[in-house]
């Protein structure tokens, strides 16, 4: 069994599709949260031009330099990874081990727990409740930090799957409580879709913060695998020493560089997400479903039995995320796609709910 096998994710699973007599092209995927406009033309052209015959640069230097000038962060404060997932696992290996403790603000992305467990750590959670719209209490979170004294804390912002987006003060309170004996990983994978984002870079001066960014969501590069982290130079160097050589392919580096020149694609996607999210909200609310407010490009929706509903929709060629693996068996997560696609989803949901 490979390491990732224990984490449940959205996205299409070929074995399951075949069991339903479906192929990938038969299914409209609302279960993975990538840019609804897909991969940009400019990026696809860069992928086609990448040199497949030579080993890629092990340091992703061109890409780090491009990120550095764009983000005004030192080249040595950036580490590129094979998706942010690789970096999550490397950070867990670096900070955790037997008798070390990891704190996770949940319910959230499952890979944090998997990485911490594989590293042999004790895993603790601060769980947000449905009654509070899944907003964490900052007092409960800082208290948990005092009690657990974690070496590594994970906070996803905006959070997957709830869409909750905490402000800078919330994060500062956590970094202060963590102190210099621990590290806070702030996963900002979905910030590019937030309407009113705040700039996290000033947190780097705290010295105990790692900012984690994925390029697979905003630029629709999930198949290419690309992410990076920003942190103090010494932290970057420690994580880098754990990274296998050539883990970021030549194609990933080439598409990453091209993506950085294509802001317009992400800006267009963000506007589309705002429009389609409002539409989805209205349509699903009219069906009597509770749709939670979300700062990201997905929404959490309360249903009776998420597993059953997901199966019914899949038979109709629509994939949504059953949130049982997040500990939320009464919720589905829906990625925001183009309004036309959202209309098809709303229609299918109407049909399934009427039959039920």
Ligand X SMILES: Cc1ncc(COP(=O)(O)O)c(C=O)c1O
Distance of CA 81 to the CA centre of its chain: 14
The Cα–Cα gap between 42 and 60 comes to 20
- 222 contributes a contact to ligand X by CB under 6 A: yes
Binding-site size, ligand X (CB under 6 A): 12
Q: At what angle do helices 111-118 and 83-95 cross, to 10 degrees?
A: 40
The Cα–Cα gap between 204 and 354 comes to 51
Closest separation in Å from C-beta 165 to ligand X: 12
Q: What number of helices (H) and strands (E) belong to the chain?
A: 12, 13
Binding window for ligand X (CB under 6 A); candidates: 37-45, 69-77, 81-89, 193-201: 81-89
Q: Which is nearer to ligand X, 269 or 346 (CB)?
A: 269
Binding mask 82-101 for ligand X (x = CB under 6 A): -xxx----------------
Q: Which is nearer to ligand X, 216 or 283 (CB)?
A: 216
Options 154, 227, 252, 320; binder of ligand X; rule CB under 6 A: 227
- 335 contributes a contact to ligand X by CB under 6 A: no
Closest separation in Å from C-beta 266 to ligand X: 15
Asked whether the beta carbons of 230 and 73 are under 8 A apart, the reply is yes
Which positions from 191 through 220 interact with ligand X, judged by CB under 6 A?
214, 216
Binding window for ligand X (CB under 6 A); candidates: 78-86, 117-125, 306-314, 340-348: 78-86
Distance of CA 1 to the CA centre of its chain: 23
Which positions from 105 through 134 interact with ligand X, judged by CB under 6 A?
109
Closest of 41, 52, 86 to residue 213, by C-alpha: 86
Reading the block at residue 258, the tokens are 């091209």
| DSSP calls for 29-75 | E-SS---TT-S-HHHHHHHHHS-SSSPPPTT-HHHHHHHHHHHT--G
Binding mask 159-178 for ligand X (x = CB under 6 A): -x------------------
Residue partners of 312: CB distance under 8 A and separation at least 6: 352
Q: Which is nearer to ligand X, 141 or 185 (CB)?
A: 185
Nearest position to ligand X, beta carbon: 83
Q: Which is nearer to ligand X, 85 or 294 (CB)?
A: 85
Q: Which is nearer to ligand X, 40 or 160 (CB)?
A: 160
Residue partners of 1: CB distance under 8 A and separation at least 6: none
Binding window for ligand X (CB under 6 A); candidates: 80-88, 94-102, 169-177, 258-266: 80-88
Binding mask 10-49 for ligand X (x = CB under 6 A): ----------------------------------------
Q: Which is nearer to ligand X, 56 or 227 (CB)?
A: 227
Closest separation in Å from C-beta 215 to ligand X: 7
| DSSP calls for 217-246 | TTTT-TTT--EEEE--HHHHHHHHTTSPTT
The Cα–Cα gap between 209 and 173 comes to 12
Closest separation in Å from C-beta 78 to ligand X: 15
Q: Which is nearer to ligand X, 194 or 348 (CB)?
A: 194
Options 78, 102, 105, 156; binder of ligand X; rule CB under 6 A: 156
Q: Which is nearer to ligand X, 218 or 312 (CB)?
A: 218
Closest separation in Å from C-beta 139 to ligand X: 24
- Give the containing element (helix H, strand E) for 199: none
Q: Which is nearer to ligand X, 84 or 294 (CB)?
A: 84
| DSSP calls for 65-134 | HHHHHHHT--GGGEEEESHHHHHHHHHHHHH--TT-EEEEEES--THHHHHHHHTT-EEEEEE--GGGTT
Q: Which is nearer to ligand X, 85 or 283 (CB)?
A: 85
The Cα–Cα gap between 158 and 162 comes to 8
Distance of CA 11 to the CA centre of its chain: 13
Residues in contact with ligand X by CB under 6 A are 83-85, 109, 156, 160, 187, 189, 214, 216, 222, 227
């Amino acid at each position: 069994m490979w390491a990732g096998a224990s984490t449940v994710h959205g996205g299409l699973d070929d074995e399951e599709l075949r069991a339903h007599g479906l192929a990938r092209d038969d299914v409209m995927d609302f279960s993975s949260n990538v840019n609804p406009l897909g991969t940009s033309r400019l990026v696809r052209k860069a992928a086609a031009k990448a040199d497949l015959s030579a080993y890629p640069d092990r340091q992703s230097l061109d890409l780090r330099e491009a990120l550095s000038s764009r983000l005004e962060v030192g080249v040595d404060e950036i580490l590129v990874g094979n998706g942010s997932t690789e970096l999550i696992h490397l950070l867990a290996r670096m900070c955790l081990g037997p008798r070390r403790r990891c704190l996770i603000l949940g319910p959230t992305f499952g890979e944090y727990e998997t990485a911490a467990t594989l590293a042999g750590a004790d895993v603790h959670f601060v769980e947000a409740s449905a009654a509070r719209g899944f907003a964490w209490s900052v007092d409960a979170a800082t208290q948990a930090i005092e009690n657990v004294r974690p070496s590594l804390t994970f906070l996803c912002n905006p959070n997957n799957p709830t869409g909750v987006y905490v402000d800078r003060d919330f994060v500062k309170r956590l970094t202060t409580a963590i102190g210099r004996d621990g590290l806070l990983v702030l996963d900002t994978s979905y910030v590019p879709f937030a309407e009113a984002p705040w700039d996290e870079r000033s947190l780097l001066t705290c010295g105990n913060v790692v900012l984690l960014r994925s390029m697979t969501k905003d630029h629709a590069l999930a198949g290419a695998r690309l992410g990076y982290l920003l942190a103090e130079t010494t932290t970057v160097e420690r994580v880098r020493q754990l990274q296998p050589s050539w883990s970021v392919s030549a194609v990933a580096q080439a598409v990453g560089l091209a993506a950085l020149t294509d802001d317009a694609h992400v800006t267009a996607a963000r506007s589309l997400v705002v429009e389609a999210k409002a539409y989805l909200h209205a349509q699903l609310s009219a069906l009597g479903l509770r749709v939670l407010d979300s700062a990201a490009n997905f929404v959490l929706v309360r249903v009776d039995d998420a597993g059953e509903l997901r199966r019914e929709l899949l038979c109709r060629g629509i994939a949504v995320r059953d949130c049982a693996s997040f500990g939320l068996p009464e919720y589905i997560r829906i990625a925001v796609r183009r309004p036309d696609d959202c209309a098809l989803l709303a229609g299918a949901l109407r049909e399934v709910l009427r039959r039920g």
